[in-house]
Amino acid sequence: MTKTIAITGKGGTGKTAVSALMIRSLSKKGKSILAVDADADTNLPETLGCDTVKTVGDAKEALQAEITKPRPDNPDMNKESILKSKVYEIIEEMPGYDLLVMGRPEGSGCYCYVNNLLRGIIDKLVMNYEVVIIDAEAGLEHFSRKIIRDIDDLIVVTDASRRGFRTAERIHELVDELGSNIGRIHVVANKVTESNREELVKLAGDLKLNLIGMIPLDHKIEEMDIKGVPLFEIPDDAAAAIEVEKIVQKLGF
Ligand SMILES: Nc1ncnc2c1ncn2[C@@H]1O[C@H](COP(=O)(O)OP(=O)(O)OP(=O)(O)O)[C@@H](O)[C@H]1O
Ligand SMILES: [Mg+2]
């Protein structure tokens, strides 16, 4: 059975960092992982230390062009198998995980047909893995597009701000309203310090959020970021890595 975990939250709260640290932790446990960068502003590959450029968005554009082009020479072109082979070509096989980058949003025109094909292809693809980790963009539009149908655990990352927590609360409400196929929703507070820790626990309690972890503001992350070292290489004893390990265990790994 595949477990699908999506990470969302307000912009800049640390969604990509949390995704990368979770992928790191799960890969150390020997899980077979599909990492999905579902943010149009692709950051996950760099954070993981992978300089891939191929995206599903590009594959979709290419297929869309094929579909709209008259093909008297090959009217029986099997569009699904073309898109499938394009998607499988894009998957980057890295040590410890595979990576799929969704990439740019679609251009104008109707992509319903291509998106339907893509949904079917991705549904089958995810079944090849034990865990799928999705670095989703801020906002909830991607849930209505539902390229990935079922999510077991939705992690809403918030920073140590009231606004971040409010966003988490809104996401809770929206998920309820949309009736999406989401199993459980958790909140992770990120960039926590000793001076705000207690307040944040109280705030989460007041808003009835299911706080699953509190990742400290970690100077190691800041240092790695500025030096351009992928976060995937963070040492085991870094405070943020230790807390993410606990979160991963709470999620059942
Ligand atoms: N626990 C932490 N300690 C210190 N710095 C952190 C921590 N978590 C994230 N950061 C830093 O905060 C910045 C934003 O993090 P990140 O890019 O992961 O956020 P994001 O939510 O994915 O942003 P976006 O909305 O742009 O996708 C980065 O510079 C990252 O290195
Ligand atoms: Mg990001």
Supply the residue whose CA is at minimum distance from atom 8 of ligand 1: 14
Q: Which ligand is nearest to the CA of 9?
A: 1
Cα separation, 242 vs 235, whole angstroms: 9
Task: Enter the tokens of residue 219.
Answer: 């100077």
Q: pLDDT of the chain along its 253 residues, tens only?
A: 899 999 999 999 999 999 999 999 999 999 999 999 988 889 999 999 998 778 998 888 888 887 777 666 665 568 888 888 888 999 999 999 999 998 877 777 777 888 888 888 988 999 999 999 999 987 666 655 556 668 899 999 999 888 889 888 888 888 877 777 888 999 999 999 999 999 999 999 999 899 999 999 999 999 999 999 999 999 999 999 999 999 999 999 9
Supply the residue whose CA is at minimum distance from atom 6 of ligand 1: 221
Closest by alpha carbon to 183, among 242, 246, 128, 252? Answer: 252
The CATH class for the domain spanning 3-250 reads alpha beta
Contacts of 19 (CB under 8 A, 6+ apart): 7, 35, 44, 47, 133, 134, 135
Q: How many CB atoms lie within 10 A of CB 1?
A: 5
Give residue limits of the domains in the chain. 3-250
By residue count, the chain amounts to: 253
Taking the CA of residue 18 as reference, the ligand 1 atom at the shortest distance is 18
3-class secondary structure for the chain? CCEEEEEEECCCCCHHHHHHHHHHHHHHCCCCEEEEECCCCCCHHHHHCCCCCCCHHHHHHHHHHHHHCCCCCCCCCCHHHHHHHHHHHHCEEECCEEEEECCCCCCCCCCHHHHHHHHHHHHHHHCCCCEEEEECCCCCHHHHHCCCCCEEEEEEEECCCHHHHHHHHHHHHHHHHHCCCEEEEEEEEEEECCCCHHHHHHHHHHCCCCEEEEEECCHHHHHHHHHCCCHHHCCCCCHHHHHHHHHHHHCCC
Give me ligand 2 centre to Cα 80, in Å: 30
Ligand 1 pocket member 221 (CB < 6 A):
yes
Taking the CA of residue 41 as reference, the ligand 1 atom at the shortest distance is 27
For 67, phi and psi rounded to 5 degrees? Answer: -65, -40
Mutate to test the pocket of ligand 1, among 23, 161, 191 (most ligand atoms within 8 A of CB): 191
Ligand 1 pocket member 229 (CB < 6 A):
no
Instruction: Please tell me the predicted confidence (pLDDT) of residue 76.
Output: 58
Give me ligand 1 centre to Cα 12, in Å: 5
Which pTM does this prediction carry?
Answer: 0.93
Q: Which ligand is nearest to the CA of 18?
A: 1
Cα separation, 48 vs 32, whole angstroms: 16
Ligand 1 pocket member 240 (CB < 6 A):
yes
Taking the CA of residue 192 as reference, the ligand 1 atom at the shortest distance is 1
Q: Which ligand is nearest to the CA of 190?
A: 1
